[in-house]
């Protein structure tokens, strides 16, 4: 499950046989499992804060993309205004509706082939890795575009990935076509992220 108050999934650490709290920015590689369609299932590799290792686990599409929005959460919280315990989902549904009405998405990424910001989801990510050049604050991701399915390397803050509806007001991206055919996609990703010559910046004009 995903905890909306800490913005982390609870996944399994097999080393300690315990729960590991995992942010999207701690994902390292996400692959769709071939064959599984209803629901789709993703193979997620993540950096485990509990033991320091990298683990692999299977996460269903619903859990990966929709649980972070919390609209079906059964958690409750103490509303300090009304002084009563209330369902967190009620708040989160209101927030989601309000955000969508204003044309916002829980996650957005720059699509270089289309030269546009596009909605995305945790399942749209293929690789995630810390971006050393800016300390640990920023992470490089390879994103498959939600609308055209082509790939772009984006460099975003951890919050941009970890906190649904939080969107950076500027996003760096690699202004180069992602060609994963001739060399392995992971190698291509790392090359574009670290040696890529053409880094550009999108600024929120709004
Ligand atoms: Zn672990
Ligand atoms: Zn570095
Ligand atoms: Zn696109």
- Average per-residue pLDDT in the chain? 91
What spacing in Å lies between the alpha carbon of 178 and ligand 3's midpoint? 12
- The 10 Å Cβ neighbour count of residue 124 is 20
* Per-residue confidence (pLDDT) for residue 180, from 0 to 100: 67
What spacing in Å lies between the alpha carbon of 46 and ligand 1's midpoint? 9
* Domain match, 98 and 40 both: no
Percent of the chain with pLDDT over 90: 64
What spacing in Å lies between the alpha carbon of 118 and ligand 3's midpoint? 7
What spacing in Å lies between the alpha carbon of 53 and ligand 2's midpoint? 20
* Domain match, 14 and 60 both: yes
Rg (alpha carbons) of the chain, rounded to whole number: 18
- Residue 206, pLDDT above cutoff 70: no
* Domain match, 126 and 177 both: yes
- Pick the ligand that lies closest to the CA of residue 193: 2
What spacing in Å lies between the alpha carbon of 152 and ligand 3's midpoint? 8
What spacing in Å lies between the alpha carbon of 81 and ligand 2's midpoint? 47
In a domain, 158, yes or no: yes
**3-class SS shares of the chain: helix, strand, coil, % to 5:** 20, 45, 35
What spacing in Å lies between the alpha carbon of 189 and ligand 1's midpoint? 25
Omega of the bond leading into 19 within 30 degrees of 0 (cis): no
Q: Which of 33, 49, 64 is the last residue of a domain?
A: 64
* Domain match, 118 and 195 both: yes
* Domain match, 116 and 162 both: yes
In a domain, 44, yes or no: yes
- Pick the ligand that lies closest to the CA of residue 119: 3
* Domain match, 191 and 121 both: yes
Cβ atoms 152, 113 nearer than 8 A: yes
In a domain, 30, yes or no: yes
* Domain match, 126 and 194 both: yes
- Pick the ligand that lies closest to the CA of residue 48: 1
What spacing in Å lies between the alpha carbon of 82 and ligand 3's midpoint? 44
Task: Give the range among 117-121, 186-190, 201-205 with minimum mean pLDDT.
Answer: 201-205
* Domain match, 39 and 74 both: no
What spacing in Å lies between the alpha carbon of 133 and ligand 2's midpoint? 5
Q: Which of 48, 81, 104 is the last residue of a domain?
A: 104
In a domain, 206, yes or no: no
Question: Mean of the pLDDT values across residues 165-177?
Answer: 92
- Pick the ligand that lies closest to the CA of residue 152: 3
* Domain match, 55 and 96 both: no
Give 70's pLDDT tier (boundaries 50, 70, 90): confident
* Per-residue confidence (pLDDT) for residue 42, from 0 to 100: 97
pLDDT in tens, 3-42: 988 999 999 999 999 999 999 999 999 999 998 788 899 9
* Per-residue confidence (pLDDT) for residue 135, from 0 to 100: 62
* Domain match, 185 and 125 both: yes
Question: Mean of the pLDDT values across residues 116-123?
Answer: 96
User: What's the number of domains the chain is made of?
Assistant: 3
- Residue 159, pLDDT above cutoff 60: yes
Question: Mean of the pLDDT values across residues 85-99?
Answer: 88
Q: What's the CATH number where 53 sits? A: 2.30.30
- Pick the ligand that lies closest to the CA of residue 21: 1
Question: Mean of the pLDDT values across residues 132-146?
Answer: 83
Ion ligand 2 — residues with CB < 5 Å = 132
The candidate with the shortest Cα–Cα distance to 130, out of 56, 204, 198, 194, is: 194
Task: Give me the DSSP letters along 139-205.
Answer: EEEEEE-TTT--EEEEEEEHHHHHSTT---SEEEEE-S----SSS-HHHHHHHHHHH-S-EEEEE--
Task: Give the range among 101-105, 140-144, 153-157 with minimum mean pLDDT.
Answer: 101-105
* Domain match, 122 and 100 both: no
* Domain match, 192 and 158 both: yes
Torsions phi, psi of 67, nearest 5?
-60, -35
What range defines the domain where residue 21 resides?
2-64
């Amino acid at each position: 499950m995903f905890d909306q108050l800490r913005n982390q999934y609870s996944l399994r650490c097999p080393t300690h046989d315990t729960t590991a709290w995992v942010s999207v920015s701690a994902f390292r590689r996400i692959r769709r499992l071939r064959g599984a369609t209803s629901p789709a299932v993703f193979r997620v590799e993540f950096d485990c804060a509990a033991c320091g290792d990298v683990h692999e686990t299977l996460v269903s599409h619903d859990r990966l993309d929709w649980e972070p929005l919390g609209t079906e959460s059964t958690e409750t919280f103490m509303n300090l205004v009304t002084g009563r315990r209330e369902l967190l989902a009620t708040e989160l549904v209101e927030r989601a509706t309000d955000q969508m009405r204003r044309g916002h998405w829980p996650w957005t990424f720059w699509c270089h082939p289309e030269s546009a910001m596009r909605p995305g989801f945790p399942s749209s990510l293929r690789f995630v890795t810390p971006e050393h050049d800016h300390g640990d604050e920023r992470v490089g991701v390879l994103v498959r575009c939600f609308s055209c399915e082509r790939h772009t390397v984006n460099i975003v803050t951890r919050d941009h990935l970890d906190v649904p509806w939080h969107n950076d007001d500027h996003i760096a991206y690699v202004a180069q076509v992602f060609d994963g055919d001739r060399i392995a996609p992971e190698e291509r990703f790392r090359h574009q992220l670290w040696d890529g010559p053409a880094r550009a910046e999108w600024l929120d004009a709004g």
